[in-house]
């Protein structure tokens, strides 16, 4: 459904990757230690929760919260070999 006043659609737009954008970045992420990946994933998860809360507040009270949260970020993938 489209809002004719602002021309905003209700369907989510596809996410444009912002971290896994080149082979060198992918290799850097793969080279992180497991504790570092877990720490970064916890930060990403906390940021995602804040974005979701912002979107919820915007949905419940658009006048009081005019900006919805941005799309959530993907967690860094953990290689199964790192778990052994």
Can you tell me the distance from the alpha carbon of 32 to that of 51, in angstroms, rounded to the nearest whole number? 25
Predicted local confidence at residue 41, as pLDDT: 95
Average pLDDT, the chain: 82
**Lowest-pLDDT choice from 17-21, 57-61, 62-66:** 17-21
Whether 36 contacts 44, CB under 8 Å: no
Average pLDDT over residues 29-48: 94
- The backbone torsions φ and ψ at residue 18, rounded to the nearest 5 degrees and listed phi first, read -120, -5
**Would you state the structure tokens that stand for residue 20, as one six-digit string?**
């896994």
- pTM comes to 0.69
Sequence spans of domains, the chain = 22-61
């Amino acid at each position: 459904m489209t809002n004719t006043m602002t021309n905003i659609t209700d369907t989510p737009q596809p996410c444009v990757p912002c971290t896994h954008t080149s082979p060198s970045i992918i290799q850097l992420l793969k080279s992180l230690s497991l504790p570092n990946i877990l720490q970064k994933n916890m930060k990403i998860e906390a940021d995602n929760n804040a974005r979701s809360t912002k979107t919820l507040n915007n949905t419940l009270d658009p006048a009081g919260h005019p900006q919805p949260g941005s799309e959530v970020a993907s967690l860094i993938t953990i290689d199964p070999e790192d778990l052994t």
